């Protein structure tokens, strides 16, 4: 997958034999051992690896849960409870899976914010960024459908509300909704297809992840300075340098994960989902899973008609627009400088955006009444303004800080007075043992 | 920086080995729940014993109950059936072992050890699954007047012992006991 | 890295300010016509199963089970709990059998094709007091009493900002039992002047979905006899039955927390090893 030339030389006869027929070991060597990564990556860059391991974890726990789950409205709730009560280690696997989804989204949000901060989407990494956005969309679909499967009150009413978005589409809306539901309301056909799709989509995510990594290995990683790799001294080998650092970050992440799974496994869930779905009784407040809350707040912020668009369609458009705008970020940012490190004003607006997104998330969990609506409208306005106004305009008027000439120079400047051997001189993959 | 040049290589190796070992232990421990979940769950194990009322069985009548998802034949044998079975000598049998979970594994397949024991020789309790490939044999049929498996033609006698056909063993007797004169607990 | 931390600090400060301002606006509804429920938040109790080393008190579970059996089970089903699991309360196999046999379970069809009733066995589940939900609703003024198997996880009063952030660190996960205890002990208070209480309902400021509920005060002092000398008060009954319901909803809680301790201990040790390895590997590269 590496764009550069391969340095793999099989040492054994069997190695040469395989290499001549199907060079898989060469691919692995070039992509995950010799692959050069910038030497100045910080821990924000470890979330790609964390996400990969979380995807694997979700698929593994999901497959074993599917061995016990029954996708039937009369049995689904009890099947999940049977996993929790009777199946050996069932409670562990189920809590790993439900909290794993939250951890997955937590990691992906840090990954996305890191990309926005360091300008990882800028040329030539537009496709890499778009593939990431597709993964995020697929994750949202998977997460939403997975939440329906336990068939609790929030499952049912969340599914009802979200499929209700489609009725906002003029003319064909109701037709599309009925197509999705397989009926006139969320019922057994809906649960069955959601289970089938919830099982399928993670494998589609895995497919797009392969493309994402491929695209990454063609253009190479960005780094906190945003300066492209210029010489060998700018990089270190993926193994052992990046692998061990990613490994350490993963362990810290697992600690957080374990804290939730073993001590507060229902903290991120909603109590109402322990009540079996009842199509005749809506819970007092319908709230989606926490990772959808910012978008839920944007949906509900549009309480007014915009010209010919009524508030219902307006809300749905705003919500989908909030995700769609991510796809065009590479072309919205006009700055010639990649990293926020050298863009003082962008840095300010970026952190405001982070606060805004978290604030929107909190508003999404509040009932849509009183001052919350007004606050959600202001926060939604900034959300879109960040992309549509700040990104294009700031790039044209901002004066960036002076940048170093290379990654090596930046590293040496940072470690001034300390010991700064050029990486290539003393460290090569062979020094690891 | 110069310190690491003087580090004893064996200490460095020790760190790498310890880290690697911890990783292997962690991966192994993590794998266990994924295997563990396949074992029979608590609700399945709870059904591993059933109590059967046999008061309505007169000699010559049988009853089939489901135990652990398999049929268990409970037969009140007629005196003739018992007599026929008792006359068979052990060297005529294809499988000379009793296959009775209530006895030791080397108990011989004489009629007493196949039945519910002294005083209850008329009761035969066995798992109604052909020891060949798991079909359910038909009762009171076949050459030996016991059971006949329609799948591949194994014939069992009136004590459920394999006499002819491809099945290798006598039909298994599960753990059971009489909790009263008319009540049997299987499992 | 330092800059990221600084950013995060600034962020959390700004967030705290904005959320604090927002939650201040939540107050200010009239006492007679509240719009948000419950009117009072439940008091946080001490539970033996709270915290990283929490486990159930078997004596308390047995008392709670007695309260459920003698009081709650008249109206509330507990469909997901099997008699066999009562052995986790410290009962012997014979005691579990005896408890199961006290209940009548419908089985069948028999050889004649009829459904029949028989005494329960350990593999049975607690039978419902009503044949179906409609009957339960009809017998209780239109509102079917909820099943109690998961009640302790299906109820919880929102903690609000910033409390919910602290809850992550204090491992607060006892919202369900706190709520049940508060509800059971919250009867008998005078409603504020001017508040209209609908006919056939009972004012309870701790009720999560309104100012009053259809369930009358279910228990009074000395209603259930305790053999172990524990005080026979409504407060004690409520604590015990809340603990029992937490067990019913989360039977593997103690096992979960014990496993968690080993997992976290392992991750810490492994983490230190990996950190040292990482330092060793990166020693010769400035970054």
CA distance C232 to chain B (A): 35
Indicate whether C2 belongs to any domain. Answer: no
Q: Tell me, what's the pLDDT at C9?
A: 52
Residues C56, C153, single domain; the answer is yes
Which residues, in sequence order, are CB contacts of A300 under 8 Å at separation 6+?
A: A315, A364, A368, A373, A376
Kindly determine whether residue A87 and residue B33, on different chains, have CB atoms separated by under 8 Å.
no
The shortest CB-CB distance from C267 to any of A254, A264, A271 is to: A254
The pLDDT tens digits of the residues spanning A55-71 come to 999 999 999 999 999 99
Residue A48: CA atoms inside 13 Å, Cβ hemisphere, count?
20
Please list every residue in chain B whose beta carbon sits closer than 8 Å to the beta carbon of residue C121.
51
Q: Would residue B132 show up in a list of annotated catalytic residues for this protein? A: no
Please list every residue in chain B whose beta carbon sits closer than 8 Å to the beta carbon of residue C123.
43, 46-47
A113 touching C, CB under 8 A?
no
C25 touching A, CB under 8 A?
yes
Kindly determine whether residue B42 and residue A85, on different chains, have CB atoms separated by under 8 Å.
yes
CATH at C251: 1.10.760.10
Separate counts of helices (H) and strands (E) for chain A: 18, 2
Kindly determine whether residue B37 and residue A93, on different chains, have CB atoms separated by under 8 Å.
yes
Average pLDDT over residues B142-161: 92
CA distance C281 to chain B (A): 10
Which residues, in sequence order, are CB contacts of A402 under 8 Å at separation 6+?
A: A342
Residue of chain C minimizing CA distance to A154: C154
CA distance A95 to chain B (A): 12
Tell me which residues of chain C have a pLDDT lower than 50. Answer: 1, 5, 19-28
* Other residues' Cβ atoms within 10 Å of the Cβ of residue C43: 11
Please list every residue in chain C whose beta carbon sits closer than 8 Å to the beta carbon of residue A76.
none
Indicate whether C240 belongs to any domain. Answer: yes
Please report all neighbours of A, defined by 3+ CB atom pairs within 8 A.
B, C
Considering only residues 265 to 284 of chain C, which have any Cβ-Cβ distance to chain A shorter than 8 Å? 267-268, 270-271, 274-275, 277-278, 281-282, 284
Highest mean pLDDT, choosing among A103-107, A287-291, A410-414, C131-135: A103-107
Kindly determine whether residue A370 and residue C168, on different chains, have CB atoms separated by under 8 Å.
no
Residue of chain B minimizing CA distance to C272: B19
Residues C234, C105, single domain; the answer is no
Q: Tell me, what's the pLDDT at A258?
A: 98
Residue of chain C minimizing CA distance to A118: C4
Residues C154, C69, single domain; the answer is yes
User: ∠ at Cα A402 (A398, A403), nearest 5°?
Assistant: 110
CA distance C252 to chain A (A): 7
Does residue A419 register a pLDDT over 60? no
A336 touching C, CB under 8 A?
no
| DSSP-based three-state secondary structure for A210 | helix
Indicate whether C243 belongs to any domain. Answer: yes
Which residues, in sequence order, are CB contacts of A19 under 8 Å at separation 6+?
A: A8, A10, A25, A26
Residues C69, C159, single domain; the answer is yes
Integer-rounded Cα radius of gyration of chain A: 24
List Cα–Cα distances, A402 to A225, A339, B149, C198, in angstroms: 11, 12, 89, 72
Beta bridge partners of C52: none
Indicate whether C118 belongs to any domain. Answer: yes
Kindly determine whether residue C277 and residue B19, on different chains, have CB atoms separated by under 8 Å.
yes
Q: Residue C207: which domain range?
A: 33-77+131-267
Q: Is the bond leading into A226 cis (omega within 30 degrees of zero)?
A: no
Residue of chain B minimizing CA distance to A60: B34
Give the pLDDT band of residue A431 (cuts 50, 70, 90): very low
Highest mean pLDDT, choosing among A174-178, A424-428, B4-8, C111-115: A174-178
Please list every residue in chain A whose beta carbon sits closer than 8 Å to the beta carbon of residue C260.
258-259, 261-263
Kindly determine whether residue A244 and residue C11, on different chains, have CB atoms separated by under 8 Å.
no
Does residue A428 register a pLDDT over 50? no
Considering only residues 192 to 251 of chain A, which have any Cβ-Cβ distance to chain C shorter than 8 Å? 236, 240-241, 244-245, 247-248, 251
Residues C46, C109, single domain; the answer is no
Give the pLDDT band of residue A295 (cuts 50, 70, 90): very high
Residues C135, C162, single domain; the answer is yes
Kindly determine whether residue A89 and residue B36, on different chains, have CB atoms separated by under 8 Å.
yes
Residue of chain C minimizing CA distance to A347: C7
Does residue B1 register a pLDDT over 70? no
Quote the percentage of chain B above a pLDDT of 70: 94
Kindly determine whether residue C274 and residue A358, on different chains, have CB atoms separated by under 8 Å.
no
Does residue A361 register a pLDDT over 70? yes
Beta bridge partners of C126: none
Kindly determine whether residue A266 and residue C153, on different chains, have CB atoms separated by under 8 Å.
yes
CA distance C78 to chain B (A): 16
The pLDDT tens digits of the residues spanning C243-275 come to 999 999 999 999 999 999 999 999 999 999 999
Residues C71, C92, single domain; the answer is no
User: ∠ at Cα A125 (A119, A129), nearest 5°?
Assistant: 75
A344 touching B, CB under 8 A?
no
Residues C63, C187, single domain; the answer is yes
The shortest CB-CB distance from A86 to any of B1, B16, B43 is to: B43
Phi and psi, residue A342, nearest 5°: -105, 15
Indicate whether C12 belongs to any domain. Answer: no
Kindly determine whether residue B32 and residue A89, on different chains, have CB atoms separated by under 8 Å.
yes
User: ∠ at Cα C35 (C33, C36), nearest 5°?
Assistant: 130
Indicate whether C19 belongs to any domain. Answer: no
Highest mean pLDDT, choosing among A415-424, B60-69, C48-57, C103-112: C48-57
Q: Tell me, what's the pLDDT at A3?
A: 46
Residues C59, C148, single domain; the answer is yes
Residues C117, C214, single domain; the answer is no
- This prediction's pTM: 0.89
Q: Tell me, what's the pLDDT at B123?
A: 93
Q: Tell me, what's the pLDDT at C34?
A: 86
Indicate whether C279 belongs to any domain. Answer: no
Does residue A142 register a pLDDT over 90? yes
Q: Are B77 and B122 in contact (CB under 8 A)?
A: yes
Considering only residues 136 to 175 of chain C, which have any Cβ-Cβ distance to chain A shorter than 8 Å? 146, 149-150, 153-156, 161, 167-168, 171-173, 175
Q: Are A88 and A107 in contact (CB under 8 A)?
A: no
ipTM: 0.90
Residues C168, C236, single domain; the answer is yes
For chain B, list the strands marked E by DSSP.
50-53, 61-67, 70-76, 123-127, 138-139, 145-148, 155-157, 162-164, 176-180, 183-186
Of the candidates B25, B152, B179, B180, the residue annotated as catalytic is B152
Beta bridge partners of A100: none
The shortest CB-CB distance from B12 to any of C82, C269, C280 is to: C280
Q: Are A158 and A286 in contact (CB under 8 A)?
A: yes
Give the pLDDT band of residue B100 (cuts 50, 70, 90): very high
Give the pLDDT band of residue A429 (cuts 50, 70, 90): very low
Q: Is the bond leading into B2 cis (omega within 30 degrees of zero)?
A: no
Number of B:C CB contacts under 8 A? 37
The pLDDT tens digits of the residues spanning A223-266 come to 999 999 999 999 999 999 999 999 999 999 999 999 999 999 99
What's the 3-state SS for chain C? CHHHHHHHHHHHHHHHHHHHHHHHCCCCCCCCCCCCCCCCCCCCCCCCCCCCCCCCCHHHHHHHHHHHHHCHHHCCCCCCCEHHHHHHHCCCHHHHHHHHHCCEEEECCCCCCCCEEEECCCCCECCCCCCCHHHHHHHCCCCCCCCCCCHHHHCCCCCCCCHHHHHHHHCCCCHHHHHHHHHHHCCCCCCCCCCCCCCCCEECCCCCCCCEECCCCCCCCCCCCCCCCCCCCHHHHHHHHHHHHHHHHCCCHHHHHHHHHHHHHHHHHHHHHHHHHHHHHHCCCCC
CA distance A92 to chain C (A): 8
Scan for tokens 């709870």, then name that residue. B46
Kindly determine whether residue B22 and residue C273, on different chains, have CB atoms separated by under 8 Å.
yes
Domains of chain B: 46-186 (2.102.10.10)
Q: What is the tally of structural domains in chain C?
A: 2
Kindly determine whether residue A42 and residue C4, on different chains, have CB atoms separated by under 8 Å.
yes
d(CA C178, CA C172): 11
Kindly determine whether residue B22 and residue C84, on different chains, have CB atoms separated by under 8 Å.
no
d(CA C246, CA C248): 5
Residues C180, C236, single domain; the answer is yes
Please list every residue in chain A whose beta carbon sits closer than 8 Å to the beta carbon of residue C154.
271-272, 274-275
Mean pLDDT of chain A: 92
CA distance C85 to chain B (A): 9
Please list every residue in chain C whose beta carbon sits closer than 8 Å to the beta carbon of residue B29.
266
Strands across the sheet containing B50-53: B50-53, B183-186, B176-180
Kindly determine whether residue C123 and residue B19, on different chains, have CB atoms separated by under 8 Å.
no
Indicate whether C9 belongs to any domain. Answer: no
Kindly determine whether residue A90 and residue B34, on different chains, have CB atoms separated by under 8 Å.
no
């Amino acid at each position: 997958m590496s764009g550069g030339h391969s340095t793999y030389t099989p040492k054994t006869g069997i190695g040469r034999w395989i290499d001549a027929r199907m060079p898989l070991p060469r691919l692995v060597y070039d992509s995950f051992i010799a692959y050069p990564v910038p030497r100045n990556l910080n821990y924000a860059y470890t979330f790609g690896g964390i996400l990969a391991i979380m995807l694997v974890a979700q698929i593994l726990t999901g497959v074993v849960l599917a061995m016990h789950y029954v996708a039937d409205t009369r049995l689904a709730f009890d099947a999940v409870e049977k996993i929790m009560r009777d199946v050996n280690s069932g409670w562990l696997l189920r809590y790993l899976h439900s909290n794993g989804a939250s951890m997955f989204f937590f990691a992906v949000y840090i990954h996305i914010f890191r990309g926005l901060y360091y300008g990882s989407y800028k040329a030539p990494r537009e496709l890499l960024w778009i593939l990431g956005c597709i993964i995020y969309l697929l994750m949202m679909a998977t997460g939403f459908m997975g939440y329906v499967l336990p068939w609790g009150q929030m499952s049912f009413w969340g599914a009802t509300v979200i499929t209700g978005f489609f009725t906002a589409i003029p003319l064909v809306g109701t037709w599309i909704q009925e197509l999705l539901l397989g009926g006139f309301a969320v019922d057994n056909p809906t649960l069955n297809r959601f289970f089938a799709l919830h099982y399928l989509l993670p494998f589609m995510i895995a497919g797009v992840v392969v493309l994402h990594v491929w695209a990454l290995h063609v253009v190479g990683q960005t780094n906190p300075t945003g300066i492209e790799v210029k010489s060998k001294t700018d990089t270190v080998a993926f193994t052992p340098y990046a692998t061990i650092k990613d490994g350490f970050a993963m362990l810290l992440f697992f600690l957080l994960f374990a804290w939730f799974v073993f001590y507060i496994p229902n903290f991120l869930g909603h109590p109402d989902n322990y009540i079996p779905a009842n199509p005749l009784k809506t819970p007092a407040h319908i709230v989606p899973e926490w990772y959808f809350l910012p978008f839920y707040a944007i949906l509900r912020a549009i309480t007014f008609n915009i010209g010919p668009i009524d508030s219902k369609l307006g809300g749905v458009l705003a919500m989908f627009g909030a995700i769609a705008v991510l796809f065009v970020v590479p072309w919205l940012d006009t700055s010639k400088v990649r990293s926020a490190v050298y863009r003082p004003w962008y840095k300010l607006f970026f952190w405001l955006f982070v606060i805004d997104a978290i604030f929107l998330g909190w508003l999404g969990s509040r009932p849509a009444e009183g001052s919350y609506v007004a606050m959600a409208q202001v926060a939604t306005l900034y959300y879109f303004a960040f992309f549509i106004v700040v990104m294009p305009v700031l790039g044209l008027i901002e004066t960036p800080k002076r940048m170093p000439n290379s990654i090596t120079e930046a590293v040496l400047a940072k470690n001034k007075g300390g010991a700064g051997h050029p990486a290539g001189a003393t460290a090569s993959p062979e020094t690891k043992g | 920086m110069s310190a690491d040049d003087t580090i004893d290589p064996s200490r460095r190796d020790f760190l790498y080995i310890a880290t690697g070992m911890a990783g292997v232990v962690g991966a192994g421990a993590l794998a266990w729940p994924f295997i563990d979940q396949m074992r029979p769950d608590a609700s399945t194990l709870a059904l591993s014993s059933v109590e059967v009322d046999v008061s309505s069985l007169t000699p010559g009548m049988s009853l089939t109950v489901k135990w652990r998802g398999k049929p268990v034949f409970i037969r009140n044998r007629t005196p003739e059936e018992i007599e026929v079975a008792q006359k068979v000598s052990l060297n005529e049998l294809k499988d000379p072992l009793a296959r009775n979970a209530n006895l030791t594994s080397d108990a011989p397949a004489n009629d007493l050890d196949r039945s519910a024991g002294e005083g209850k020789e008329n009761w035969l309790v066995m798992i109604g699954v052909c020891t060949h490939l798991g079909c359910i044999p038909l009762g009171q049929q076949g050459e030996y007047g016991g059971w006949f498996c329609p799948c591949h033609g194994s014939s069992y006698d009136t004590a459920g012992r394999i006499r002819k056909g491809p099945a290798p063993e006598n039909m298994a007797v599960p753990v059971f006991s009489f909790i009263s004169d008319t009540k049997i607990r299987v499992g | 890295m330092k800059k990221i931390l600084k950013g995060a600090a600034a962020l959390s400060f700004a967030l705290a300010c904005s959320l604090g301002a927002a939650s201040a606006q939540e107050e200010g509804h009239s006492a007679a016509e509240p719009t948000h429920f419950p009117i009072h938040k439940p008091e946080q109790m001490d539970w033996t199963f709270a915290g990283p080393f929490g486990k159930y008190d078997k004596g308390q579970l047995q008392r709670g089970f007695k309260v459920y059996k003698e009081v709650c089970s008249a109206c509330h089903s507990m469909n997901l709990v099997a008699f066999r699991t009562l052995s986790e309360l410290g009962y012997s196999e014979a005691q579990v059998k005896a408890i199961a046999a006290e209940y009548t379970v419908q089985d069948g069809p028999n050889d004649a094709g009829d459904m029949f009733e028989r005494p329960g066995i350990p593999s049975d589940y607690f039978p419902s007091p009503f044949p179906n939900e409609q009957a339960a609703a009809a017998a209780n003024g239109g509102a079917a009493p909820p099943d109690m198997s998961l009640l302790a996880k299906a109820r919880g009063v929102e903690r609000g900002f910033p409390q919910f952030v602290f809850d992550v660190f204090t491992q607060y996960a006892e919202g369900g039992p706190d709520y049940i205890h508060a509800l059971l002990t919250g009867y008998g208070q005078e409603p504020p002047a001017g508040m209209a209480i609908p006919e056939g309902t009972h004012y309870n400021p701790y009720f999560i979905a309104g100012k009053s509920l259809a369930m009358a005060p279910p228990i009074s002092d000395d209603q259930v006899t305790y053999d172990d000398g524990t005080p026979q008060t409504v407060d004690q009954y409520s604590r015990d039955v809340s603990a029992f319901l937490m067990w019913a909803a989360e039977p593997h809680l103690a096992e979960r927390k014990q496993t968690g301790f080993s997992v976290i201990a392992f991750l810490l040790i492994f983490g230190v090893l990996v950190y040292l390895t990482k330092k060793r590997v990166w020693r010769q590269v400035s970054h």
